[in-house]
Structure 1
Amino acid sequence: MKGIEAITALVSAYPYVSYGIVLVLALSESLPVLGAAIPGTAIIVGLSVLVPSGVLKLYPLLASATAGAIIGDGFAFWLGHRYHREIADRWPFNRFPALIEKSEAFFHRHGGKSVFLARFTPGVRAFVPLVAGITQMSAGRFYAVNILSALVWAPAHILPGVFAGAFAASQGAAGTRLIVLLIILAAAAWLMLRLTRYAVLHTVPLIMYAVEMLRAWAKQTDNLASRLVLRLMGPTEGELPILALLIAILIGAAWLFFGIAEDVITGDPLIVFDKSVFDFLQGLRTRAADAVMIGVTELGDTTVVLAVSAAVLVLLAAQRSWRTAAYFLGAVGGASIFNTAIKVAVHRARPSLDLYAGWSNFSFPSGHSTEMLRFTGS
């Protein structure tokens, strides 16, 4: 909470710096390459939350976002118009041939209005203005669409943050902290998804390369190990690399889970951190937030799980998918047994002891989270 209050105080002390940051973020989101790497939207929405409290003013914020969007697209258009097709062959643009090709297809499909549509389309947004310049779209036509799209884009991003800030203000001090925290979490989730996508895009080719190297070695060698490799990694076993990746993820997740379980049992510093997080979240509670959180967690309640499981089994039975139904039952039963066994073994009580009775009154691991994750996996 102190960190969030410090951010609010800093913005309040230097509002014009915040307007400048919004301008730069809006500009950067419109630039090729850079626009795909900066979570500008999340930060702009986060700053917009502070408008109802008077820390920032609405019209300067809108003007900054609009100006940044216009300048960013205009600079990308100038690059394409000035350097033509050769700009796509220069670093760093030559590192993204698929995105440029996709943006070109988008531009040719939608014509001049693609500049407007791209402003709201992830992926091609930062490259369509560049492509418009490369194809020698007239500057007058481009800037007419560019300005119009910026005038729509800025309110579409800022006003939701303003409304969220107004709602937070109606909930008191805890509401403001909650909204700001949600924006921070959204930015962190965006970054995590980007990093995960980057890791997958670079890991899968490495795995495929390693498999091909192993196959080449096995073809040149005649022993028990090479024959086993050829049998497992033959040309028809294309799913093996994916299976190996899934097994590696499973092993890593199991290692992480049992590491956390060990910390819970032995009372390591992780427990102190857990208590700190709990106390922090208690300070963010509001009546509306409690209602939403209760609704979310009850999706993993036994009654809901049984009803959804029964519906899934009826559907699978109607399709005569008996093997899939057996796997589904195994996942449901296995998750329940696994969860209950660890609850009984660890015996970690909930912060509030009057919510459930019996084994369900133990908090680790969470039964609701386990069931929700199991349904997601299924």
Structure 2
Amino acid sequence: MPQLIDFILHIDEHLVTIVNQFGNSTYLVLFLMIFIETGVVILPFLPGDSLLFAASALAANQAFNLNIWLLLAVFFAAAVLGDSVNYEIGKRVGLAASNNSFFGRFLDQQKLNKAEAFFNKHGGKTIAIARFMPFIRTFAPFISGGSHMNYRKFIHYNVLGGFLWVALCCTAGYFFGNIPVVQDNFSLVVLGIIGISLLPIIVTYCRGRLNRKPESL
């Protein structure tokens, strides 16, 4: 865990090492990192937002042989394919989640029934918005698959959310990542990105707690 935290906070330095070591194969490494974060439901803690930002910042620096347009394509493909695989995993194990020793910790049949009703009403919006929320973006496609959300509806918002997520994070990294004050305080920038991403979750949690208090009185 300490190594993971160090990697996230100093991802810019680690990316330089990856680029120098792997050369053109860096695109494959970055593809796999985003694909695993979005596609493997048990690994929701990988640094997706900060990775997109840092890689795009390197692409803006001519000292590194990274093409921003190729990065955009690689990240977009990884995000869409990862969520699609996650959807299929949820679809195949979702109905048996309550009997599964691992997935049963997160989902049971009652939760799946509620999730199915929720995604039928708000599913598309949830898939697109969840892209900008760490952890949530990993479980959203899994739950949508487990609740048998219509795949055409899912892929539509999957593509939309993936495009917006990659475009915004990469644009921010490309144009702001090489500003001296950002480079000198990159760890703080990464923490800021994580904090902003988690803000909607925190607000939703606080609202839920406040709404429960009157009922308990």
TM bucket, shorter chain: 0.5 to 0.7
Alignment of 1:60 with 2:74, yes or no, is no
- Preserved contact between residue 39 and residue 187 of structure 1 (Cα < 8 Å): no
Per-residue Cα deviation, 1:115-168 (whole angstroms, up to 9, x for no partner): 2222223443211211211222232332222122211111111110001135x2
Could you tell me which residue of structure 1 aligns to residue 144 of structure 2? Answer: 132
Pick closer, same or farther for the CA change 1:182–1:89 going to 2, 3 Å: farther
Structure 2 regions of 5+ residues with no counterpart?
A: 1-11, 199-217
Q: Residues of 2 paired with 1:34 and 1:142: CA distance? A: 21
Alignment of 1:85 with 2:88, yes or no, is no
- Preserved contact between residue 19 and residue 61 of structure 1 (Cα < 8 Å): yes
* Higher RCO, Cα 8 Å, sep 6+: 2
Letter in 2 for 1:21: V
Could you tell me which residue of structure 1 aligns to residue 182 of structure 2? Answer: 179
Pick closer, same or farther for the CA change 1:180–1:135 going to 2, 3 Å: same
Pick closer, same or farther for the CA change 1:182–1:20 going to 2, 3 Å: farther
Deviation at 1:40, TM superposition (A): 2.4
Could you tell me which residue of structure 1 aligns to residue 82 of structure 2? Answer: 72
Letter in 1 for 2:53: V
Pick closer, same or farther for the CA change 1:60–1:33 going to 2, 3 Å: same
Q: Residues of 1 paired with 2:99 and 2:138: CA distance? A: 17
Pick closer, same or farther for the CA change 1:6–1:28 going to 2, 3 Å: closer
Could you tell me which residue of structure 2 aligns to residue 34 of structure 1? Answer: 43
Residues 138-157 of structure 1 correspond to what in structure 2 (within 5 A)?
138-157=150-169
Report the TM-score, using the length of structure 1 for normalisation.
0.41
Per-residue Cα deviation, 1:328-369 (whole angstroms, up to 9, x for no partner): xxxxxxxxxxxxxxxxxxxxxxxxxxxxxxxxxxxxxxxxxx
Deviation at 1:49, TM superposition (A): 0.8
Could you tell me which residue of structure 2 aligns to residue 23 of structure 1? Answer: 31
Structure exhibiting the larger radius of gyration computed from Cα positions: 1
Q: Identity percentage over the alignment?
A: 26
Residues 1-378 of structure 1 correspond to what in structure 2 (within 5 A)?
8=16, 11-12=19-20, 14-30=22-38, 31-35=40-44, 37-54=45-62, 55=64, 56-87=66-97, 89-97=99-107, 101=111, 104=115, 107=119, 109-166=121-178, 168=179, 175=180, 179-187=182-190
- Preserved contact between residue 56 and residue 177 of structure 2 (Cα < 8 Å): yes
Could you tell me which residue of structure 2 aligns to residue 207 of structure 1? Answer: none
Pick closer, same or farther for the CA change 1:78–1:6 going to 2, 3 Å: closer
Deviation at 1:88, TM superposition (A): 5.1
Letter in 2 for 1:61: L
Structure 1 regions of 5+ residues with no counterpart?
A: 169-174, 195-378
Letter in 2 for 1:183: F
Give the number of aligned pairs: 178
Report the TM-score, using the length of structure 2 for normalisation.
0.66
Could you tell me which residue of structure 2 aligns to residue 227 of structure 1? Answer: none
RMSD (Å), alpha carbons: 3.3
Per-residue Cα deviation, 1:216-256 (whole angstroms, up to 9, x for no partner): xxxxxxxxxxxxxxxxxxxxxxxxxxxxxxxxxxxxxxxxx
Letter in 1 for 2:89: L
Letter in 2 for 1:114: T
Letter in 2 for 1:50: L
Per-residue Cα deviation, 1:285-335 (whole angstroms, up to 9, x for no partner): xxxxxxxxxxxxxxxxxxxxxxxxxxxxxxxxxxxxxxxxxxxxxxxxxxx
Letter in 2 for 1:44: L
Q: Residues of 1 paired with 2:76 and 2:91: CA distance? A: 22
Per-residue Cα deviation, 1:186-236 (whole angstroms, up to 9, x for no partner): 557869xx9xxxxxxxxxxxxxxxxxxxxxxxxxxxxxxxxxxxxxxxxxx
Letter in 1 for 2:146: I
